[in-house]
Amino acid sequence: MNIRTSRSVPGIWANALIGVTALVMVAPVAAARTLRYVVLANGQSTGSEVDSVDENGSLDSDFEFNDRGRGPKIHAHYEYSSDGLPLRLSIKGVNYLKATVNERLVSGATGLEWSGAGERGSSTAPGFYLSNEGVGGPELAALVRALQLRKDQALLLLPTGRAVLDTAGDVDVESHGQKLHVRQFLISGLDLTPTPVWVDDDGAFFAFPGRWSATIREGWESVNETLHALQLKAEDERYARLARSLARKPVHPVAIEHVRLFDSEHAVAVADQTVVIEAGRIVAVGGSGMVRVPKGAERVEGRGRTLLPGLFDMHVHATPVDGILHVASGITSVRDLGNDIDGLQHLQDRWDRGVAIGPRVWKAGLTDGGGQYKAPTGIYVETVEQAEAAVVRYASAGYVQIKLYSSLKPELVPAIVAAAHRHGMRVGGHVPEGLLAADFVRLGADELQHMNFVLLNFLKGRVGDTRTPERFTAVGESAGSIVLSSTPVRDFVAQLATRPTPVDVTLGAFEGMFTARPGVVSPDFAPIIERLPAQLRRQSYLGGLPVTPDNDQRYREAFATMLRMTRQLFDAGVPVLVGTDGIAGLMLHRELELQVQAGIPAASVLQDATLLAARILKQEAEVGSVAVGKRADLLLVEGNPLEHISDIRRGRLVFKSGVVYDPARLYAAVGISPAP
């Protein structure tokens, strides 16, 4: 559902890598010039950036892009001191979700003073203020220059954190008869992994390359793939190093003794069990006095702990750093519901081979129509022939599902469903514009993605175009008035229960969208806010969809309706899938908590996150339960999540095919503190 964006730069947080060489100084940015940039999504232009520097060195930047009707439109003004630190900035416009942006930094009586949607503060200490909602390219290029002036020293970030600079190589690029030397810098301290930024020899921003999304200087679009390949190579090397240091392959059998075992077949806990793992498989399960522990086995104390099958996240859009986040959080299997085909295959191959740390992946191929609201990745089709060819391509690449999207022509749905079913593939996704969820299911959809599309089924006439953000705002305005006991709602729930048709509700994706407010930590981040790197904490205070005093309560009621509808689906026998479409790993824990908050018993939620998911993906013979002969995909947690679902956050060991991971060490590798 979301393209990852931060500081108005699409995709920069997905392009993490590391490399350490000697720092190379670059000259200050040349004065009085204008540089233009193109924002790309899936190789096509979706926006622009114009950076203008005057003779005094002040910089003005205008940045915007369109992501299916979402996207920022920002004007930013920056002024810097001779030592490279910000003196003034002014950022105005709207952010990705179209909320008003008015962020400023000034020199005042108490030093630097700043204010914005999520915070207000001041400091007399010299530091680099990094905006919440400014333009990433020129800001990060300025941060590179400030760090270079301090050579090997870290730089205080305002209002919190520290930044450190490394270089990751340079390259000469050529386009339209011109040559340019560009250098890649890595800034640690901003995100979960070092943040890459490419600059030219004048120190001006050049590019954030990428396949899914990119920002690159106008006229140089042809070198995007070259720069992306260099980043990918360094990124692969970084994650290979982490895999070598963080993955442990036991040379002897492993016995987890006296543990509480979650029996996902029956959704119950069984006390005082012993589980033996050997050669990547579960070889024994039973009462601790009944199971023989092999001589020389590594023994793990299980008292006070619960052993579960490895968790599934049934709605992800995988990136390299996600692999570590998933496994650290006990997620050993995921379903990717839309990604760059080549990029995802690359990730899957590395995770499967253990060259990098990551879960098992089952892939759904995103298929959409054209137009300004089309999905940012996938295969675009306009005819039956193109649609059937897309299904064949995905099937031949090992995909298990087709995900349809909002701009697909409704008349193509039956042909895609028929073609997918011929290949043994499921069909789900967004409800295409012009259809209701009930129509989509009647046309053969095997499941639905996102609770908002369920509720839109009852808002006909109150929403204009579901390809646009109206699929969120109309729900926010009107879902609270839906009478869940009404005949239309009960009839639709019965329709879903008849086959049955699972619903991938993604409650966590909507909690912040509908209930977060500027200046207050978003409720989905509240349980983990103290565990996050300092700069990332700030993002959780920015709020969600723009609200007014008139509709504030309606948006809260809309999310409450989502929770009640989830319980109603469960009570009717509709399978409720556990998926996030959010920050990897950590947000699956929140999704489990929200489904319990909705009224589903914790044991059932955990069953849905393990065995039900395995059955949907036809993998129950291999994973999804703790049974002899199955792969040793396991999560050992402190406490009892069947009684206190939040104990699921307290992972102590994770096994993937018997390979052992310490969640605390995995989290530390990406700057996150372990759960207490």
Residue 394 CA to residue 420 CA, distance in Å, equals 9
What is residue 405's three-state secondary structure? coil
- Cβ–Cβ contacts within 10 Å for residue 125, how many? 8
Cα–Cα distance between 7 and 631 in angstroms, integer? Answer: 41
Q: pLDDT (tens digit, 9 = 90+) per residue, 319-344? A: 999 999 999 999 999 999 999 999 99
In a domain, 266, yes or no: no
- Pick the last residue of a domain from 567, 598, 629: 598
Task: Give the three-state DSSP class for 668.
Answer: helix
Report the pLDDT averaged over residues 633-647: 98
Closest by CA to 495, choosing from 414, 577, 412, 569, is: 569
Cα gap 201→181, rounded to integer Å: 6
Q: Considering the domain boundaries, does residue 89 fall inside one? A: yes
DSSP class of residue 480? Answer: G
Q: Which of 302, 301, 340, 306 is nearest to 320 (CA)?
A: 340
Mean pLDDT, to the nearest integer, of 139-164? 93
Q: How confident is the model at residue 36 (pLDDT cuts 50, 70, 90)?
A: very high
C-beta of residue 32 within 8 angstroms of C-beta of residue 55: yes
What does the block give as tokens for 669? 């590798």
Our count of domains for the chain comes to 2
Look at the chain and count its residues. Answer: 676
Q: Could you give the count of Cα atoms lying within 13 Å of 53 in the half-sphere of its Cβ?
A: 19
| pLDDT band at 19; cut points 50, 70, 90 | very low
Quote the DSSP letter at residue 522. -
The pLDDT, as a whole number, for residue 168 is 86
> Rounded to an integer, what distance in angstroms lies between the CA atom of residue 55 and that of residue 330?
54
Q: What is the pLDDT of residues 72-116, one digit of tens each?
A: 999 999 999 999 999 999 999 999 999 999 999 998 877 899 999
Report if residue 483 sits inside a domain.
Answer: yes
Give a yes or no: residue 68 inside a domain.
yes
pLDDT attached to residue 31: 60
Residue 302 maps to a domain: no
Q: Could you report the per-residue pLDDT of 377-429, keeping only the tens digit for each?
A: 999 999 999 999 999 999 999 999 999 999 999 999 999 999 999 999 999 99
**Residue 27 predicted with pLDDT over 80:** no
The C-alpha atoms of residue 604 and residue 567 are separated, in whole angstroms, by 12
HSE (CB half, 13 Å, CA atoms) of 320? 30
**Final residue belonging to a domain, choices 529, 563, 598:** 598
| Residue 144's pLDDT band (cuts 50, 70, 90) | very high
Q: What are the residues whose beta carbons fall under 8 Å from the beta carbon of 609, sequence distance 6 or more?
A: 311, 312, 578, 588, 592
pTM: 0.93
- Mean pLDDT for the chain overall: 93
Render pLDDT for 487-522 as a digit per residue (tens, 0 to 9).
999 999 999 999 999 999 999 999 999 999 999 999
| Domain-terminating residue out of 574, 598, 622 | 598
Establish if 648 belongs to a structural domain: no
Q: Are the C-beta atoms of residues 402 and 391 closer than 8 Å to each other? A: yes
With respect to residue 169, please indicate whether it lies within any of the assigned structural domains: yes
Query: What average pLDDT does range 239-245 have in this prediction?
Result: 97
**What is the domain extent for residue 136?**
5-245
Q: What whole-number distance in Å separates Cα of residue 225 and Cα of residue 209? A: 7
Instruction: At 228, list the tokens.
Output: 């992306």
pLDDT at 179 > cutoff 70: yes
- 62, part of any domain: yes
pLDDT in tens, 281-313: 999 999 998 999 999 999 999 999 999 999 999
The region, left, alpha or beta by phi > 0 then psi within -120 to 50, assigned to residue 181 is beta
For 462-471, write each residue's pLDDT tens digit. Answer: 999 999 999 9
